[in-house]
Chain A
Amino acid sequence: MKFEETKKKAIEEWESTTQKKVCIRVGTATCGRSSGALDVLKAINDELSRQNIDANVMEVGCLGLCYIEPMIDIYKPGHSRVIYANVTPDLMPQLIEDYLLRNNPRPDLALGTIGEGNIEGIPRFSELPMIKPQVRLVLKNCGHIDPVNINHYIANGGFGGLIKALKMKPEEIIEEVKKSGLRGRGGAGFPTGTKWGFCRSAEGVEKYIICNADEGDPGAFMNRSLLEGDPYLVLEGMVIGAYAIGATEGYIYTRAEYPLAIKRLEVALDRMREHGFLGEDILGSGFSFDMRIKQGAGAFVCGEETALMYSIEGKRGMPRPRPPFPATSGVWGKPSNINNVESWADVARILDQGADWYASFGTERSRGTKTFSLAGNVKRTGLIEVPLGIPLRQIIYDIGGGIVGDKEFKGVQSGGPSGGTIPAKLIDTLVDYEHLAEVGSIMGSGGLIVMDEDSCMVDMAHYFLDFVQKESCGKCVAGRVGTSQMMNILERIIQGEGQPGDVEKLESLANTLLATGLCALGGTAPNPVLTTIRYFREEYEAHINERRCPAKRCTALTSYYILPDKCEGCGICLRDCPAEAIQGGKRMVHIIDQSKCIKCGTCFDVCPPRFNAVVKVSGEKVEVPPEPVPVKASKKE
């Protein structure tokens, strides 16, 4: 069948599913599921069959508003789609009855509308403060189509880029990608077209392309969302790349921790083979290519390209020195080209819409858009896509809605363990490759962790270094010994045993690691330490000189006490303490046994505000009775 015919049929199916009758979309990506989306889905199906309503129910990917999952949207012919957030299974019968049977779209429950037409009392989804600054090029299908239905993908312009590419010469495709200005979205930012050129011109009959879906950065989930919401877009980009580079085989190396993404990729690959987008003589072009999934096994360092390739070969994933670069000697010693999930998706959009179109977004040197996972102490957490060059302030306050509990914004960590912390005073930094590097951080793959006044910067540095130290493969001295030495110093600082000169020692070790690390893991490991020293040196000094954690975060330097003159002996904290560290009785002043306390803060959280008897202190001691005493007696004293 010709592609035009396939497309015609796909559009027919798409229209009959989503436009001819009621269509209910339920977001069932991992974040939706962990908020209970599958129960909501079941409740919808139960109610539809109970009421005998003829409707299509569709599982879709994530719209990115993870903080108000589960989300559904309801389309009624002749109306726009209405999105409802924070829904529960209990709500479904009422909502279905109100909207589908009584024609009341329940503006009180609705979040926004999508598509033509307005509904009174419900804002347009695209006008919402968290959506308006976003530009969704690679996430355009997420939350709209059934991720594994190839016809939905085709009906929405899918494979348009591949069709164009197969009519072009490979060199022309590489030129087009170069012209778009696309730079590697895995974090390093190397120009994608240039990289392809190296592999194209490398000698060899067998060549490989790889999709790096080993999203190991703690705090990053962009690739997971994209693979769960629109796997075909990534795979289309890969077929285009394979044709341009002259590859015969491809691998998608993905984390085993992403079971849903793997499942959806497997289905998508099968469908592409059935429709002739993969395999022998793709769409009659004479070009043959196939690819398969390789699951990682939980090793962060495998995100490094040479380590990843060893892992594909079934070996320990340890990086090796470059050159030779993978473009000349990669998997099985053959020329290989590796790109991040998002880069491949960008390629499919670029070929479809043209390099000039793509380059019209972003800045002079950082073209296009970038997805970020916005998490931490920000009100509206989720997955976003913004044009490069957007001010950080706009991401945190307009899209993110500011800090949880309106606490003070302290800083944001970008780029994961290889990145750095950007302090509050630099909130007007523009988010692109150059400006992030200028302030000591990196773009990285796109994790943005927002921190408030309760975050301790020494603790954050310790956290990241602990992570890289555990994940270091042990091959080079920087990774094996350097991270461990830095860790020892940070460990004693947060334990309240820091020594004068420790900060300088950390700086000197950090510079040695930067210069000598074999791969990016060891070589960038000191970044979180260096940026926190650069911007928050006084916090290190408070820990070392005053044995005090200003944020009251480091457990060894922080204690909880129950104030005897405020405690009413109500027993709530005693009952809720998970460590059974609180002694007392009815109308007896409660006492925390400091030797048993795990400093979880539960007592602090559950003490009724009218008593406010629990305090959290660092660097000071609170006088409390040695054992429980009657409430009144203590109040007289």
Chain B
Amino acid sequence: MESELAEILAPYEEKKGVLIPVLQQVQEKLGYISEEAISQIAKTLKLSGSDIFGVASFYTQFRFVKPGEHTVKICLGTACHVRGGEQILNTVKSYLSIDTGETTKDGKFSLERVACLGCCALSPVIVVDEVVHSKMNPLKTANLLSSYYQGGGDEV
């Protein structure tokens, strides 16, 4: 992992205002911001570990635990809320037996809530990995999740 990090960090050495893009790239590569990553970023950018954690924990994009194989994001924007986003979140929570920010024991799914994906006209929406599923309801959501345990998923 150290060499992967070094590769990401190299072009940013001693540059100003680059912490957020650096964190974004690290997360894209490793899936999350690990403790080791924070200390290595600190060394390269000449910042303290607490500076970095302070910035990273401020922004909801960054996570500090390893994500599951698939990431389920539930949109809770206003339009999704009006059309039952909360019920969909409850369905997923109960189906996967995890809360938001957690990963299932089998490492299959992690669950996140997002403020708004900007697909309001198709609400309520959920995103599994990068695929947006529109006009959802609790039943469709449960079927979608179960399809991942039956080997499929992407085509639903």
A residues apposed to B, CB below 8 Å: 30-31, 33-35, 66-67, 69, 215-221, 224, 256-258, 294-300, 311-318, 332, 373-377, 381-383, 413, 416, 447, 449, 451, 455, 460, 463-464, 467, 471, 473, 555, 576, 578-579, 598-602, 605-606
Contacts and interface: CB of A to CB of B under 8 A. Distances in A.
The 7 closest A-B pairs by CB, nearest first: A66-B121, A219-B78, A297-B59, A381-B121, A34-B132, A218-B77, A221-B118
B95 interface: yes
A299 B60 contact: yes
Contacts of A579: 91, 94
B142 A578 contact: yes
Nearest to B95: A578
Contacts of A455: 82
Nearest to B93: A598
Contacts of B114: 257, 298
28 contacts: A30-B118, A31-B121, A215-B118, A217-B116, A218-B77, A218-B78, A218-B115, A257-B117, A257-B118, A294-B21, A295-B20, A295-B21, A297-B23, A298-B61, A300-B115, A313-B16, A314-B20, A376-B83, A376-B123, A381-B79, A449-B78, A460-B82, A578-B139, A600-B84, A600-B87, A602-B137, A602-B138, A605-B139
Contacts of B55: 314-316
Nearest to A383: B121
A445 to B, nearest CB: 12
B61 A297 contact: yes
Given A312-B17, A314-B17, A578-B142, A299 B58 contact: yes
B17 A216 contact: no
B78 A373 contact: no
Most chain B CB within a 10 A radius of its CB, from A216, A298, A317: A298
B93 to A, nearest CB: 8
A256 to B, nearest CB: 6
B18 interface: yes
Most chain B CB within a 10 A radius of its CB, from A299, A374, A376, A576: A376
B81 interface: yes
Given A66-B121, A578-B95, A376 B78 contact: yes
Interface string B86-114: 11101100110000000000000000001
Contacts of B86: 555
A258 B16 contact: no
Contacts of B147: none
B2 to A, nearest CB: 23
Nearest to B19: A314
Interface of B: 16-21, 23-24, 54-55, 58-62, 76-79, 81-84, 86-88, 90-91, 94-95, 114-123, 125, 132-134, 137-139, 141-142
A491 B98 CA distance: 23
A382 B142 CA distance: 27
A186 B139 CA distance: 38
Most chain A CB within a 10 A radius of its CB, from B121, B123, B134: B121
Contact of B87 (A31, A300, A599): A599
Contacts of A294: 20-21
A467 B84 CA distance: 16
A541 B62 CA distance: 41
A447 B77 CA distance: 11
Given A256-B61, A373-B121, A295 B83 contact: no
Contacts of A449: 78-79, 82, 120
B122 A297 contact: no
A218 B59 CA distance: 17
Nearest to A69: B122
B90 to A, nearest CB: 4
Contacts of A224: 118
Nearest to A578: B142
A300 to B, nearest CB: 6
A218 B122 CA distance: 14
A606 B139 contact: yes
Contacts of A373: 120-121
Contacts of B133: 34
Nearest to B92: A578
Contacts of A382: 121
B108 to A, nearest CB: 17
Contacts of B125: 34
Nearest to B115: A218
Contacts of A600: 84, 87-88, 90-91, 138
Given A218-B76, A449-B78, A578 B91 contact: yes
Given A295-B20, A375-B120, A316 B94 contact: no
A217 B120 CA distance: 11
Contacts of A30: 118-119, 132
Nearest to A580: B94
A297 B132 contact: no
Contacts of B117: 257
A381 B137 CA distance: 18
A599 B87 CA distance: 7
A413 B78 contact: yes
Contacts of A315: 19, 55
Most chain A CB within a 10 A radius of its CB, from B23, B82, B87, B133: B82
Contacts of A376: 78-79, 82-83, 120, 123
Nearest to A312: B17
B94 A598 contact: yes
A3 to B, nearest CB: 34
A34 B134 contact: yes
B115 A467 contact: yes
A598 B87 CA distance: 8
Nearest to B113: A470
A311 B90 CA distance: 33
Contact of A220 (B18, B19, B76, B118): B118
Given A34-B134, A219-B77, A300-B115, A601 B84 contact: yes
Nearest to A257: B117
A467 B113 CA distance: 12
Nearest to A471: B115
Most chain B CB within a 10 A radius of its CB, from A376, A600, A601: A600
Given A376-B79, A376-B82, A317 B58 contact: yes
Nearest to B86: A555
A602 B91 CA distance: 10
Contacts of B122: 31, 34-35, 66, 69, 381
